[in-house]
């Protein structure tokens, strides 16, 4: 059963997510984009790890905490600029999560653990960090890939898919192959896997 701290933290986190100016509509219902993303990543974490720890569940909710505050355009174009932006985002998410978790009553070791997961430190060596990465990758494949593919040229999409696949655990790859993807999207995934 979730602790009182957990419930308080979720309320604080969700209040931040509701500030997202980007709105997505799902089945006619408007969602702040990052609230929807947090729901989806959390659902994947629970699917991959039904007994997920409290820190992992919190990290899933904070994965993109206030992401809109650092626009991608504020960093150089290209792969290096993208990595700089992602690193800045991870640090910002972890900092804000730390403040919210402290307000919710968590102690420093718990806060540090959640922050480590958000930053995905020790990826591949830390099963919970890998689970969070898997959940993020599966969320991208299941929900964001069709729109991403429409906005980028095919070669770039295939390259991103190859890189995404390489970050995933074998278990997550099995889940990815079982996703119901539209035929054109499935074809992009198959091309990425056959060329990588």
Q: Containing domain of residue 178, as a range?
A: 123-196
Using CA atoms, how far residue 35 sits from 7, 42, 97, 183, 188, in Å, is 16, 11, 15, 28, 28
Integer Cα distance of 106 and 90 in angstroms: 20
Same domain for 133 and 70: no
Q: Are residue 94 and residue 140 in the same domain, yes or no? A: no
Do residue 109 and residue 127 come from a single domain? no
- Residue 83 is predicted with a pLDDT of 87
Query: What is Dmax (Cα atoms) for the chain?
Result: 49
Q: Which of 119, 140, 160 is the last residue of a domain?
A: 119
156, 97: one domain: no
Instruction: Indicate if 138 and 106 belong to the same structural domain.
Output: no
What band does 19 get if pLDDT is binned at 50, 70 and 90?
A: very high
Q: Are residues 112 and 129 in the same domain?
A: no
| 98 plus 136 within the same structural domain | no
Q: Are residues 89 and 178 in the same domain?
A: no
| Backbone torsions φ then ψ of 153, nearest 5 degrees | -70, 155
pLDDT band at 107 (very low <50, low <70, confident <90, very high): very high
Indicate if 59 and 149 belong to the same structural domain.
no
Q: How many domains does the chain fold into?
A: 2
Return the ∠ at Cα 33 (arms to 27 and 36), rounded to 5°.
Answer: 60
**Mean pLDDT, residues 63-87 taken together:** 91
Shared-domain flag, residues 161 and 108: no
Residues 109 and 167 grouped into a single domain? no
Q: What is the pLDDT of residue 78?
A: 85
Encode pLDDT of 137-165 as tens digits: 999 999 999 998 889 888 888 999 999 99
Those residues whose C-beta lies under 8 Å from the C-beta of residue 56, and which sit 6 or more positions away, are 45, 49, 117, 128, 131, 132
Q: What is the mean pLDDT of the chain?
A: 93
List all residues 6 or more positions away from 130 whose beta carbon is below 8 Å from its beta carbon. Answer: 123, 124, 169
Q: State whether 11 and 102 are in the same domain.
A: yes
């Amino acid at each position: 059963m979730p602790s009182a701290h957990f419930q308080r933290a979720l309320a604080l986190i969700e209040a931040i997510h509701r500030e997202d100016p980007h709105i997505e509509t799902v089945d006619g219902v408007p969602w702040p984009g990052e609230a929807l993303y947090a729901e989806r990543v959390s659902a994947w974490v629970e699917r991959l790890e039904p007994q997920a720890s409290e820190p992992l569940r919190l990290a899933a909710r904070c994965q993109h905490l206030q992401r809109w505050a650092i626009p991608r355009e504020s960093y150089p174009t290209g792969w290096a600029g993208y990595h700089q932006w992602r690193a800045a985002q991870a640090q910002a998410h972890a900092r804000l999560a730390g403040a919210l978790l402290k307000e919710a009553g968590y102690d420093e070791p718990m806060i540090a653990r959640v922050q480590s997961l958000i930053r995905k430190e020790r990826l591949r060596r830390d099963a919970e960090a890998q689970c969070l990465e898997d959940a993020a990758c599966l969320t991208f494949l299941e929900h964001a890939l069709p729109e991403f593919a429409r906005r980028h040229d095919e070669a770039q999409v295939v390259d991103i898919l190859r890189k995404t696949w390489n970050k995933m655990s074998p278990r997550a790859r099995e889940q990815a192959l079982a996703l119901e993807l539209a035929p054109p999207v499935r074809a992009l995934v198959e091309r990425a896997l056959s060329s990588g």
